[in-house]
Structure 1
């Protein structure tokens, strides 16, 4: 971990005129953001009366996060802390009888599964492998758990640890590869793969159920324990695995089954050439649910929630329950007592909860919407729904919704004391006519302490993906409240390509990265300037990350309306980007094939071809471990700006990837951004 750098003032002295907050509180600072406690991974107990969850806090001195387990009654009451050991204490899962909680802890020096009895007593270590394990889930029968661990295919955990030791003793640092992927996201390919293990719940003995599989279970880097599940009788495990062929340019992850006692692997979704994920058996064992996409090679194709009778697994035709709503499903859980599911759906700029009948006799319907974004919805006892909720003005906490109208109530308040003294303006939704006259949605966040009749600078944010969206939610990195804190009004538009507005709207950015999406963005900014009279049209900056960084680079060559630009992890040269990124399916879908088949698309939409127009002062940010958008893209943008004589700055993080995650680096990131904006947006006469 990097040592913490001394905290820089958030150039607050330069903003004294604008930092005067309303009587209700003061503007947020980066110290406040890093002090927010992360509330995540709620799990309802088998009897539906309690929720165990994880609270994480940034340890600035250690340069990491400490996480602990908490439990709170569904009926309400004071949350109770269950673990106090420093380091990682994560991924709690109730045993079927509710007597204990399995979780992952680093307290023994590596990540292992521990069991915590609920009737009192200390947690005991269950697994003791020479390698880290993660993601424990219980068998419904309570005699086994499933976990994942990284091994060399064909080698045991012990032999894997031995091989790692031998590799560490070799004097040469040379690495050789015979096939792609050489690296992925922010890790080089070391030959190991994540495999699925079954663990004896009494002895901790572990057995690899996928010993010779040459790909990851679950898929890297973002797969998790929702990608494997026990059957209701505990005899079978279903799991998601990466494509067996052409992994760098294939999205064809499949669902497989394997007997818990070991044996042959069976592919359940071989007939679908696109992605399948998140297998889940219904509590009564009659149904099997999962998510799937239709189009091969397109990572942003709509995720649809399907069910199929377990008696038809591998042979029957699944029922696409959510295709009718034309919105992507990000996660789901089975209802407690009936054949229905609760799904988290990306819908119109928010994450909302839908109830989805498994029998498809009734259409899915939204049941929890508005006032922020929702996640992790689960049914507890007496019909209560437990979920997480956040907004641009409120960090994530646990909530409960008993039957009946408007019965929401909070279960946790871990961040109340922190945010009470802060002025955190809400995100306001607006719509406008974008390209082709289509309706486009966006968000406005007012600056704290906005004075009547005063004009304020505008920060125009562009999201990544490009198939993503801005939600009314609390973000630990691109936090809307902290962007607004120095006195800026934040405008964040969901242009063409954004998710949650129908698949056609999402599709319309592919092969057109700089067309309708650019028109949507500029019209959205114009609409905000025309609608909100406190926005200063003469003091506007734009910032974005990933695709948002690409669009900032594009804007640099196509518009002079901005006083300053900030490009984080942005694509600069599409041709070289193709040959240095790792997930080749992405550019091949977005630009209609590889460069040698469709060179015109790569040339037409590449910011590098418009360097002659660069004039706007630009802050360029990149991480050396960003293998998704390699750091040469950021360096190329900075080189072009410097050669053109444009005021510019290159902020480089040797130990970060696509996202800036380490506490000290996050402080530097925010300070550099605020300083850059102050330099070009501050009006000394105000």
Structure 2
């Protein structure tokens, strides 16, 4: 694929499966260069033959959910101000009706078991901040008094005066008269207002200076569960609790289901028909911040206040891939497990775990209906397809990725090599057409507790199309290979992880004689930016490098990043000499490799000062360098940034490689 083919990267939401098992509703999302945003709509997919039709015509409709009867589909769409709101429409088609009208926008929502209400979380902003008062610009706001560690969030910015609260509301009558905006009248004055609501009035269930997430109804629909942190040390740890509110009481008091004293960081809670609860959560140690290589596990509670029982084992099973979620079924729980570059769907019971959907794919969402289990999957040739498991076995039904396949997708060769200390390293090598020798790009993933997978990856595909072989692996520190593998770099970053990527590179060069071992490039983002910068300070074989949105100085990271208050200390430790021994910034004087530094101005995960200072140091030392800085973007540029910026990023990176590692297809 070429860089402009990012428009063919069609990803899918978690499927909303009709209770009959006849069809599922999914939301598509793809970058549009014309709209300069991700666009997508809801689609209805027949689960017998894969036939599909578009249900909605919005710009970016997403996160569909069906009512228990299957008659109504709810989803998130921007309102007239492009603020995210929940909308509802008949699943057979029709005009969507607005369900919420929260000024701060809806974050998440859940449908009640009775199908007549939803619970949702929405951002509530302190009056006078973030545009809540017309005519008061951001520069005119009152100062922000910061007393908490959690004062920033990537993709949002400042959290001062901003909290996420829990709400509930009834669904509107889909047959009622539509809402009409009130026209201006010659006798209007300052007291005149439009008192006709655009949506049913919601009841705010929570209150206080707390945040709430992952709303879910109790099995009887009378209470709303959510995750929150209210304990005294919440600004110094990663612990949280599960609470429930009466679904009809305005700003009521929460009832504790699971206390923060249980020592867990919970990401999802579901009720079970027998009055119990299912949790996806991670342990975070005695400090409450010990998050490194902590697998997400499945826990159960017999009742509110009981001790959480571990169902899956922490050291070998990880349910924590990015779109991970659980589904309660009659005889157990369905969850997604990441393992060795794949995400599989598994059925968990008290007696063990059974794989339902596996193979060379990554499950990104799932749901169930009568007689069927449905998954949206990321495959080697597509960002998203609908797969169904029924009496016929597993069938991939759709071809949303067909345009991408037509644009050209190269399949990699999978390898597992033995490194210098006997450890195995797992990864992939892409080789372009032709005899070679082909220049080689060593790619390093972020995280570090993440993984490269088998699904199609635009970074590798664009590089291969331009004439580069691509080598990438999951070194120690990565997810998907057990807790010991992930823990190997805790407070020793840049040691065995460096060995693994270089050993995998050397073995790949030996295994593929068409690769040019004399013309090597290296690149990576976030933790990958860290290890790229660390590698070129310690190994001078590379012709050029790209260091992107990197974690480059653990010391300044602790005071500028949204996660800096705990991330640096856990990964590099607190001893000044030990931190320096793991810091690319402390060793930048050893770099001789021409290096392009890429960063985004609104990146609060790895703040731009990390890249700016690294670039300045290279410049001071006479190393060939440039700083590519994107306005309006955050840490997610390569995955969710403005499509035009994503295209321009590819163009600049290819120009850098054309200068230092030219190919017949990519040269100055």
Same fold (TM over 0.5): yes
How far does residue 335 in structure 1 lie from its aligned partner after superposition? Answer: 5.1
Which of the residues 185, 207, 210 maps onto 2:206? Answer: 210
Alignment check: 8 A CA contact 2:522 2:545 kept? yes
- Per-residue Cα deviation, 1:75-103 (whole angstroms, up to 9, x for no partner): 22421111113x23222111121111112
State the distance in 2 between where 1:636 and 1:264 align.
48
Q: Provide closer, same or farther for how the CA distance between residues 355 and 205 of structure 1 changes in structure 2, counting only shifts above 3 A.
A: same
Alignment check: 8 A CA contact 1:254 1:277 kept? no
State the distance in 1 between where 2:577 and 2:239 align.
28
How many residues in Structure 1 have an aligned counterpart in Structure 2? Answer: 624
Which of the residues 415, 436, 450 maps onto 1:468? Answer: 450
Aligned to 1:303: 296
Which of the residues 609, 616, 623 maps onto 2:600? Answer: 623
Aligned to 2:566: 585
How far does residue 170 in structure 1 lie from its aligned partner after superposition? Answer: 8.3
How far does residue 33 in structure 1 lie from its aligned partner after superposition? Answer: 1.4
Structure 1: gaps (5+ residues): 1-27, 154-158, 219-226
Aligned to 2:362: 373
How far does residue 169 in structure 1 lie from its aligned partner after superposition? Answer: 6.0
1 or 2 for the larger relative contact order (CA 8 Å, sep ≥6)? 1
Aligned to 1:19: none
Aligned to 1:148: 121
How far does residue 38 in structure 1 lie from its aligned partner after superposition? Answer: 2.5
SS at match of 2:363: strand
How far does residue 172 in structure 1 lie from its aligned partner after superposition? Answer: 2.7
SS at match of 1:136: strand
Which of the residues 371, 384, 394 maps onto 1:408? Answer: 394
How far does residue 377 in structure 1 lie from its aligned partner after superposition? Answer: 2.4
SS at match of 2:559: helix
State the distance in 1 between where 2:509 and 2:40 align.
43
State the distance in 1 between where 2:662 and 2:297 align.
47
How far does residue 167 in structure 1 lie from its aligned partner after superposition? Answer: 7.7
SS at match of 1:84: coil
Q: Provide closer, same or farther for how the CA distance between residues 287 and 665 of structure 1 changes in structure 2, counting only shifts above 3 A.
A: same
Which of the residues 446, 458, 464 maps onto 2:431? Answer: 446
Which of the residues 219, 231, 245 maps onto 1:258? Answer: 245
Aligned to 2:549: 569
Which of the residues 328, 332, 337 maps onto 2:325? Answer: 332
Alignment check: 8 A CA contact 1:275 1:293 kept? yes
The question of 1:632 aligning with 2:609 is answered yes
Q: Provide closer, same or farther for how the CA distance between residues 613 and 121 of structure 1 changes in structure 2, counting only shifts above 3 A.
A: closer
State the distance in 2 between where 1:408 and 1:551 align.
39
Aligned to 1:427: 412
Aligned to 2:536: 556
How far does residue 55 in structure 1 lie from its aligned partner after superposition? Answer: 1.4
Which of the residues 366, 376, 379 maps onto 1:388? Answer: 376
Q: Provide closer, same or farther for how the CA distance between residues 260 and 522 of structure 1 changes in structure 2, counting only shifts above 3 A.
A: same
Aligned to 2:623: 646
Alignment check: 8 A CA contact 1:353 1:375 kept? no
Aligned to 2:632: 655
Aligned to 2:15: 42
State the distance in 1 between where 2:135 and 2:211 align.
21
How far does residue 624 in structure 1 lie from its aligned partner after superposition? Answer: 1.2
Structure 2: gaps (5+ residues): 174-199
The question of 1:349 aligning with 2:333 is answered no
The range that moved more, 87-96 or 510-519, is: 87-96
- Per-residue Cα deviation, 1:536-591 (whole angstroms, up to 9, x for no partner): 10111000000110111112211111111000011222222222223211112112
Q: Provide closer, same or farther for how the CA distance between residues 350 and 245 of structure 1 changes in structure 2, counting only shifts above 3 A.
A: farther
How far does residue 285 in structure 1 lie from its aligned partner after superposition? Answer: 4.0
State the distance in 2 between where 1:486 and 1:162 align.
44
The range that moved more, 252-261 or 503-512, is: 252-261
State the distance in 1 between where 2:70 and 2:54 align.
17
The question of 1:525 aligning with 2:505 is answered yes
State the distance in 1 between where 2:93 and 2:106 align.
25
State the distance in 1 between where 2:589 and 2:139 align.
47
How far does residue 132 in structure 1 lie from its aligned partner after superposition? Answer: 2.2
Alignment check: 8 A CA contact 1:93 1:136 kept? no
How far does residue 139 in structure 1 lie from its aligned partner after superposition? Answer: 0.6
Aligned to 2:72: 100
SS at match of 1:658: coil
